[in-house]
Amino acid sequence: MSNIHPTAIINPKAEIDSDVEIGPFCVIDEDVRILKGCKLYNNVSIYSHARIGENNIFYPGSVISALPQDIKFDGGFSEVIIGNNNTFRECVTVSRGTHATNKTVIENNSLFMAYAHVGHDGRIGNSCILANSVALGGHVHLEDYVILGGLVGIHQFVSVGKYTMIGAHSMIVKDVPPYTLFSGNPLCFEGLNVIGLKRRGFSAEAINTLKSIYTLLYSAGLNVSQAVDKIKNEFKVEKEVAEVISFIENSRRGLSK
């Protein structure tokens, strides 16, 4: 208990590992679980039904597992599930799920910069970066290694594919396929996220293949169905190619153009 500041208010029904550090004026509700290595600076609020893994850091003003901002939500059980090694900077907010999925999920190793918001029923993959004031609507899915620039807004139910980078101030209303670079309002395809892929160890062959399939998708004058058929006919449907096709075929809102 020596790691808990005396001004913190902690419900006795919260489960907190012994080495968790909790700073001044934090509030932790009942039915909250916080595992080892976590640190809460001052004025952090963790509401009911938060499941927080190991080595997460919460900066002042963070609010985790508050009720979903959905007027249809009429109460009842839902959760926020957070993995390991995430950083939540000042005033980050993460909403609980609704009855649609009953949970908002954040995986591991992501950075949420100041004032970022993760809406209800969201799913955030591994090693994502959300810059300052990024706003994710309800049911938004980010796959692994997504980078969102400052003040990006994402419409509810949108999915963003892995290894994608979105430029600052962009507004996203349709799905963004993996390995790409987009920016602007209206959103515009800028090409492949080549620098990001090189940093993550993608081979020259893989990058060239992805360039070719995105040329078919965005620059060959084909509609999406025609482009996918051509990609299936001209490339081995494995590895990155299979990821792109699967993302397109499972798109919930259609592709960003």
> For a pLDDT cut of 70, what percent of the chain falls above it?
99
- pTM score: 0.96
Active-site residue, selected from the candidate residues 121, 122, 167, 175: 121
Spatial contact of 69 and 119, defined as CB atoms under 8 Å apart: yes
Peptide bond into 186 cis (omega under 30): yes
User: Does the pLDDT at position 175 exceed 70?
Assistant: yes
pLDDT band at residue 2, thresholds of 50, 70 and 90? low
Over the stretch 222-242, which tens digit does the pLDDT of each residue have? 999 999 999 999 999 999 999
> For a pLDDT cut of 90, what percent of the chain falls above it?
98
Pick the CATH number of 9-196 from 2.160.10.10, 1.10.287.130, 2.70.70.10, 3.40.47.10: 2.160.10.10
Over the stretch 13-67, which tens digit does the pLDDT of each residue have? 999 999 999 999 999 999 999 999 999 999 999 999 999 999 999 999 999 999 9
Question: How much is the average pLDDT of 120-146?
Answer: 98
In three-state secondary structure terms, 201 is coil
Over the stretch 194-224, which tens digit does the pLDDT of each residue have? 999 999 999 999 999 999 999 999 999 999 9
User: Does the pLDDT at position 131 exceed 50?
Assistant: yes
Active-site residue, selected from the candidate residues 138, 153, 161, 167: 138
Residue 173, token pair as written in the block:
């209303």
Tell how far CA 230 is from the center of its chain.
31
pLDDT band at residue 257, thresholds of 50, 70 and 90? confident
User: Is 74 known to be catalytic?
Assistant: no
The per-residue b/e assignment along 191-214, b for 16 or more CB within 10 angstroms, e otherwise, is ebbeebbeeeebeeeebebbeebb
DSSP state of 213: H
User: Is 120 known to be catalytic?
Assistant: yes
Domain ranges across the chain: 9-196, 203-249
Active-site residue, selected from the candidate residues 49, 117, 120, 141: 120
The Cα-based distances of 155 to 18, 138, 236 in angstroms read: 40, 8, 33
User: Is 31 known to be catalytic?
Assistant: no
Closest by Cα among 189, 149, 190, 156 to 170: 149
Whole-number pLDDT of residue 1: 47
Over the stretch 98-121, which tens digit does the pLDDT of each residue have? 999 999 999 999 999 999 999 999
Question: Could you tell me where the beta strands, DSSP code E, fall in 75-168?
Answer: 79-82, 87-88, 93-95, 103-106, 111-112, 117-118, 123-124, 129-130, 135-136, 141-142, 147-148, 153-154, 159-160, 165-166
